[in-house]
Amino acid sequence: PNYLRILEVLTRCWSEGRRVHIWHKSERTGKVIEYIFAPYFIEPYAVGQTTHVIGLGRSLDRMSPDRMWTFKIERIERAEPLDETYTIPADFDPQEQLADAWGIWYTDDEPVEVVLKFHPRVAGRVKETRWHHSEDIKELPDGYLRWQAKIAQPKEMLNWVRGWGADVEVVEPEWLREMLMGEARRLAEMYGWSTTKSGHPAGESSPLSQTFSDFFGD
């Protein structure tokens, strides 16, 4: 019921051009932060079957200037309409705003090039779907598939990448590769395997690589 009421308030304020006072719970800190917010667009998100609202607003806690925000409506604990009105800029295009996003996350920074290497056994499934408008796919001589695209917020891809298990290797960016390596290492250790990153003779599989091979399969 609370979600439906909040969605109704946001939708009404969006259609009437009225700002809304919202109380949003941060996923990272768990703290509820208040915002004065002007809804520009409401977007259902297939991943997790959630709904997000995009718009211009400012945090009352930080007294920050207006900037664009994306809020997951399921994390908004309260929403109250205000009498203050606003006008959405004529050149605002939500599709352009989200053009480089994997789903709903965007940034003012340049998109990041993501390079993935898929195992031959899933290459066909990868090619069946166009995952992002900027993607470029190259078939390698050994049957592997090199997939690359420019993504606004690569962290938004994590669940999708994880879903391929050991059938995908993150090549770039390095920080995303390290993040997935860390997760795989913790997962292996949770199931009783000891892992390390280096210290193996040249030409031989590292203990970490062998662990992943044992755990996930070749």
Cis peptide before 39, with omega less than 30 degrees from 0? Answer: no
- Looking at residue 215, what is its pLDDT? 47
Question: Which tens digit of pLDDT belongs to each residue from 17-41?
Answer: 999 999 999 887 889 999 999 999 9
- CB of 149 closer than 8 Å to CB of 131: yes
Domain residue ranges of the chain, discontinuous segments joined by +:
2-97, 98-172, 181-218
Alpha helices in the chain (DSSP H): 2-16, 94-97, 120-128, 158-163, 174-190, 207-216
Name the residue type at position 205: S
- Looking at residue 200, what is its pLDDT? 44
Which tops the pLDDT comparison, 71 or 18? Answer: 18
Question: What are 156-163's contacts with CB under 8 Å, separation 24+?
Answer: 156/101, 156/102, 156/103, 156/104, 156/105, 157/102, 157/114, 159/47, 160/102, 160/131, 161/116
- Looking at residue 70, what is its pLDDT? 87
The yes-or-no verdict on residue 202 having pLDDT over 50 is no
How are beta strands 168-172 and 145-151 bridged, if at all? unpaired
The yes-or-no verdict on residue 203 having pLDDT over 50 is no
The two structure tokens encoding residue 134 = 């900027």
Provide the mean pLDDT of the chain. Answer: 84
The yes-or-no verdict on residue 211 having pLDDT over 60 is no
The yes-or-no verdict on residue 212 having pLDDT over 50 is no
CA separation for the pair 88, 134 (Å, rounded): 28
CATH class name, domain 2-97 = mainly beta
Chain-centroid distance, C-alpha 134: 16
Which tops the pLDDT comparison, 79 or 97? Answer: 79
- Looking at residue 152, what is its pLDDT? 84
Top mean-pLDDT range of 75-79, 109-113, 188-192: 75-79
Residue range 98-172 in CATH 3.30.70: yes
How are beta strands 32-45 and 50-59 bridged, if at all? antiparallel
- Looking at residue 102, what is its pLDDT? 67
Structural Rg of the chain based on CA atoms: 22
CA separation for the pair 147, 116 (Å, rounded): 5
The mean pLDDT value for 3-7 works out to 92
Question: Which tens digit of pLDDT belongs to each residue from 104-149?
Answer: 666 667 889 999 999 999 999 999 999 888 899 999 999 999 999 9
- Looking at residue 68, what is its pLDDT? 86
The model carries a pTM of 0.60
Q: Which residues pair with 113 in a beta bridge?
A: 150
